[in-house]
Structure 1
Amino acid sequence: MSHPTPALDLPLAQAREWQVLLHSGRASAADKAALQVWREASAANAQAMAQVEGLWSLLGQLGETVADVPALSGVPKVVPLPRRRFRATRWGASLAAAAALLLAVWLPQGLWLGLYADYHTRPGEVREVKLADGSTLTLNGDTALDWTVSDGRREIKLYRGEADFQVAPDANQPFYVLAGPAQIRVTGTRFDVNYSSDARVTLAISHGQVQVSDGRHAAQLVNAQQQVAWLNGDLQNLEPLDEAQRLAWQRGRLVFRSRPLDQVFADLQRSQGGRVLFLDDAARDLQVTGVFASADPAAVLRAIEHNLPVKFVRLPGLLLVSAREPVAQ
């Protein structure tokens, strides 16, 4: 996935994916029938679909005004519906604000906030940042973060993406990294934080020691050559650091060992633009193993398409992914 889809928002995320498929021009009669089955499967599904349809319809009615709002990468193009010309410019201004609000609702918060971040990278870009305190950050592609120093505290707010931190030692000014539910406190060390598009946060420690918390339970220490993850907001158990896989991006590589396909696409988002939308859970759970050059994401797509039972539908700025039905014998 190209944007966070927390478990509690799964029906809404699926409804968005269905809506994009319906407006892609590629939806078959079978797809429409499957959508109806999904809608009727639960009240949550029906409510989510109604909400998405309402937002989509209103964005269409605001088509001419939305066109005046700066385009955002990865947002599906909205085809304006016929409407009457507004008689007063104040209505146009109000609707422009409403359109911006609707886009904020439609987009994941990490992307929306990341547009205004202090430091950010484009997909495929790796950037080194020197901070005023002497710390060095290396940002992977499609990363956005803010940096502040105040009241004896150095703080990074990571909105999305991945970064390698080489923190300058300063016992009087602890260094904090906040990424979704993850709270990380250090004084001087080297570590990597990945805030992926499935709302998972992972921390890998190369040198030193850090203190971690999820804000709800007691903080614990993570030592060098260990890694830990936050899933659905909860801090998980410590594990040995799999440096070859976790830090492969620093060597220009993508390494996957039985990785679910949705996590693979979350990593690919660092290297390429556009959005990826899964149309069923069967495709999300397919496993990928391989080593690839991060500068050649197309090779990963070719390998996936050739070796896994998946179907890709390519649209401008959008890739739809679904499980391929087995060939009848």
Structure 2
Amino acid sequence: MTDTHQSAAPEEAQNMLQDSAMDQALDWLITLECASNEQKAAFDNWLNADPAHAHAFAKANAIWNGEPVLAAAQTLQTRRAPSLLRRIGRHWKHLATAAVVIICVGSYSNVPLRLQADHLTVVGERQRLQLEDGSKVLLNTNSAFSSKVVNAQASARLYQGEAYFEIPADLELPMVLDAGPVRVSVRDTDFAVSYLNGEAQVRVQRGDVDLRVSSAGTQMRLSAGNSVRIGPNGFSKTARLNPQTDLAWVQGRLVFENCPMGKVLDEVRRYYPGWIVSNNDKLASIAVTGNYRLDQPLDILRSLAHITSSNISEFPALVILN
């Protein structure tokens, strides 16, 4: 037994040194994406300090620039080989972090716009507000909102995201809300507004709202139980509101009734702080019915994988369905 321990100890120590070098190499890969001259010089010193460093960096670089990781970063539709994932092992956390950082660079292009907002929610967060005029607002995930009252006139703007409003009846003047292409004038009404991907949508649960699209010179009144989408060219056809599904998020739920899984995944993506990738095109058309807690998106994905007999692979900030 003594001989066994003596031979195992050096092997364990060697593995620890290799893991340490690999961790450092992965850290350098991330740093070198946007490195200063001083950082580049420090990297050269680290690389030349030990042959194990050069070996680890070559291995990390091969993984990072390998087809699976590049494809995920570029298209989020890669097919990952289980053998590669096993080889990456616990180092996947570093690679996933780097991939998410690089992929997400473009998502900060709206930072100046969001800086104008009084209230922000991150992905997966909801926030309740009490406005100066007595109105109540529930901000949904990844939303930006501001409001003010000037000379008894309440005005607000939804820069992006989704919000549910409860507007009291005793307002001296109607509240005016801007959301992308549409201006909403309202009082004594409960309604929801979303502004996503350049399109607004208004859903009225109680009362009436007056809508106007200045660029198209069109306006309409939307009554309780109806919804409408609004683009730069004006209004879509009015549709009936289904509060059990359309407004389920207000109650902290996501409810789907015979909904194609592709659309279900799109909705879950709004609440998951990472990437959700489906590698099976056949999954998109499968009809899904379910009632889920929106604050547990990972549990939703696990349930969807179970009911569709899909395989699910979970990594930091990344879930893959096959």
Q: Which bin holds the TM-score, normalised by the shorter protein?
A: 0.5 to 0.7
User: Which stretch shifts more, 266-275 or 135-144?
Assistant: 266-275
- 1:114 aligned onto 2:114: yes
Which structure: greater helix fraction? Answer: 2
Q: Look up the SS of the partner of 1:145 in the other structure.
A: strand
- 1:77 aligned onto 2:101: yes
Gaps of 5+ in 1: 1-21, 36-72, 80-101, 325-329
Q: Look up the SS of the partner of 1:125 in the other structure.
A: coil
Q: Look up the SS of the partner of 2:256 in the other structure.
A: strand
Matches within 5 A, 1:1-329: 25=66, 27=68, 76-78=100-102, 103=105, 106-107=106-107, 113-114=113-114, 117-150=117-150, 153-169=153-169, 172-196=172-196, 198-215=197-214, 216-230=216-230, 234-261=234-261, 263-276=263-276, 287-308=287-308, 314-319=314-319
TM-score by length of 2: 0.59
Output the CA distance in 2 between the equivalents of 1:223 and 1:147: 24
Quick one: structure 1 residues 227 and 168, their matched pair in 2 at CA, closer, same or farther if it must change by over 3 Å?
same
Partner of 2:86: none
Output the CA distance in 2 between the equivalents of 1:177 and 1:221: 14
Partner of 1:17: none
Letter aligned with residue 162 of structure 2: E
Q: Look up the SS of the partner of 2:211 in the other structure.
A: strand
Does the CA-based 8 Å contact 2:283-2:308 persist in structure 1?
no
Q: Look up the SS of the partner of 1:132 in the other structure.
A: coil
- Give the share of equivalent positions with the same residue, in percent: 25
Partner of 1:86: none
Letter aligned with residue 176 of structure 1: V
Deviations 1:274-296 (A, max 9, x none): 24467898766664332112232
Deviations 1:42-71 (A, max 9, x none): xxxxxxxxxxxxxxxxxxxxxxxxxxxxxx
Larger-Rg structure: 2
Letter aligned with residue 27 of structure 1: P
Output the CA distance in 2 between the equivalents of 1:309 and 1:199: 35
Q: How many residues align?
A: 237
What is the root-mean-square deviation in Å for CA atoms of aligned residues?
4.0
Output the CA distance in 1 between the equivalents of 2:240 and 2:256: 17
TM-score by length of 1: 0.58
Does the CA-based 8 Å contact 2:253-2:292 persist in structure 1?
yes
Output the CA distance in 2 between the equivalents of 1:109 and 1:305: 33
Q: Alpha-carbon deviation of 1:260?
A: 4.4
Letter aligned with residue 158 of structure 2: L
